[in-house]
Chains A and B, each alone.
Chain A
Amino acid sequence: MADERRTDYGPPHYEKFLPPIIKENYGKWKYHELLKPGVMVHVSESGAKLFTVRAGSPRLMSVDKIRMYADLADKYCGGYLRFTSRHNVEFLLTEQSNIDPLIDDLKKIGHPVGGIANSISAIVHTQGWIHCHSAATDASGVVKAVMDDLYEYFTETKLPGKLRIALACCLNMCGAVHCSDIAILGIHRRPPKVDHENLYKMCEIPNVSASCPTAAIRPATVDGKASVEVDEDRCMFCANCFTVCPAMPLADPLNDGVSIWVGGKVSNARHEPMFSKLAIPFLPNNPPRWPEVTSAIRKLVELWASNARKYERMGEWIERIGWPKFFQMSGIEFQKEHIDDFKHAGLTFKRSTHLTF
Chain B
Amino acid sequence: MADALPKTPMLDELEKGGWPSFVTEIKLAAEKNPMGKDLLGLLERSYKEKIGHWKHGGIVGVMGYGGGVIGRYNDLPEEYPNISHFHTMRINQPAGWFYTSEALRGICDIWEKRGSGLTNMHGSTGDIILLGTSTDQLEPTFQDLAKIDFDIGGSGSDVRTPSCCCGMARCEWACYDTMAACYDFTMTYQDELHRPAFPYKFKFKFSGCPNDCVASIARSDMSIIGTWRDEIQIDKDAVKEYADSGMDIDSDVVGNCPGKCMAWDGKELKINDKFCVHCMHCINAMPKALRPGKDRGATILIGSKAPIVEGALLSSVLIPFIKMEPPYQEIKDLVDKMWDLWCEEGKNRERIGEFIQRIGLGNFLDEIEVDPIPEMVAHPRENPYVFYEDYYEDEDEDDEEGDDE
Instruction: Identify the A interface with B (CB < 8 A).
Output: 5-14, 16-18, 22, 26-27, 29-33, 42, 50, 52, 56-67, 69-71, 73-74, 79-85, 87, 89, 92, 110-112, 124, 126, 128-135, 138, 140-141, 144-145, 147-148, 151, 154, 168, 171-179, 207, 210-211, 213, 238, 240, 243-244, 246, 251-253, 256, 266-273, 275, 285, 287-289, 310-311, 342-343
Stretch at the interface among B280-288, B327-335, B336-344, B367-375: B280-288
Name the B residues within 8 Å of A251 (CB-CB). 51-52
Q: Are A179 and B279 in contact (CB under 8 A)?
A: no
Cα distance A74–B99 in the bound complex, in angstroms? 12
Q: Are B217 and A266 in contact (CB under 8 A)?
A: yes
Q: Are A287 and B20 in contact (CB under 8 A)?
A: no
Q: Are A8 and B98 in contact (CB under 8 A)?
A: no
Residue B43 contacts which of A10, A64, A129, A271 (CB distance < 8 angstroms)? A129
Q: Are B14 and A275 in contact (CB under 8 A)?
A: no
**Contact flags B288-300 to A (C-beta < 8 A → 1, else 0):** 1001000000000
Residue A133 contacts which of B52, B99, B214, B218 (CB distance < 8 angstroms)? B52
- Least CB distance, B130 to chain A, in whole angstroms: 10
Cα distance A287–B47 in the bound complex, in angstroms? 6
Residue A22 contacts which of B55, B169, B251 (CB distance < 8 angstroms)? B169
Residue A17 contacts which of B99, B121, B218, B252 (CB distance < 8 angstroms)? B99
Q: Are A176 and B218 in contact (CB under 8 A)?
A: yes
Stretch at the interface among B87-95, B265-273, B318-326, B390-398: B87-95
- Least CB distance, B247 to chain A, in whole angstroms: 10
17 contacts between A and B (CB under 8 A): A12-B103, A26-B168, A27-B174, A61-B121, A63-B119, A66-B104, A66-B121, A73-B100, A128-B52, A129-B54, A132-B52, A141-B14, A148-B16, A175-B124, A270-B279, A288-B14, A310-B252
Name the B residues within 8 Å of A275 (CB-CB). 312, 314
Kindly report which residue of chain A lies nearest to residue B25, judged by CB atoms. Answer: A62
Q: How many A-B residue pairs have CB under 8 A?
A: 349
Residue B150 contacts which of A11, A71, A178 (CB distance < 8 angstroms)? A11
Q: Are A82 and B97 in contact (CB under 8 A)?
A: yes
Cα distance A127–B97 in the bound complex, in angstroms? 20
Instruction: Identify the B interface with A (CB < 8 A).
Output: 10-11, 13-14, 16-26, 28-29, 36, 39, 43, 46-47, 49-57, 63-65, 72, 86, 88, 92-105, 107-109, 111-112, 117-126, 131-132, 146, 148-151, 163, 165-166, 168-172, 174, 177, 179, 183, 186-187, 190-191, 194, 210-215, 217-219, 225, 251-252, 256-258, 278-281, 284-285, 287-288, 291, 306-312, 314, 348-349
Top 9 nearest A-B pairs by Cβ distance? A148-B17, A70-B101, A268-B210, A173-B306, A63-B108, A147-B19, A253-B50, A27-B168, A129-B46
Q: Are B172 and A176 in contact (CB under 8 A)?
A: no
Name the B residues within 8 Å of A207 (CB-CB). 348
Residue B101 contacts which of A73, A128, A272 (CB distance < 8 angstroms)? A73
Name the B residues within 8 Å of A124 (CB-CB). 124
Name the B residues within 8 Å of A31 (CB-CB). 172, 287-288, 291
Name the A residues within 8 Å of B218 (CB-CB). 176, 178-179, 266, 273
Name the A residues within 8 Å of B109 (CB-CB). 63
Name the B residues within 8 Å of A244 (CB-CB). 349
- Least CB distance, B31 to chain A, in whole angstroms: 9
Q: Are B131 and A240 in contact (CB under 8 A)?
A: no
Q: Known: A85-B213, A275-B314, A310-B252. Contact between A58 and B25, CB under 8 A?
A: yes
Name the B residues within 8 Å of A287 (CB-CB). 10, 47, 50
Name the B residues within 8 Å of A126 (CB-CB). 124
Q: Are A172 and B281 in contact (CB under 8 A)?
A: no
Cα distance A173–B105 in the bound complex, in angstroms? 31
Cα distance A125–B208 in the bound complex, in angstroms? 23
Q: Are B47 and A288 in contact (CB under 8 A)?
A: yes
Q: Are B47 and A141 in contact (CB under 8 A)?
A: yes
Kindly report which residue of chain A lies nearest to residue B214, judged by CB atoms. Answer: A85
Cα distance A268–B57 in the bound complex, in angstroms? 38
Name the B residues within 8 Å of A132 (CB-CB). 52, 54
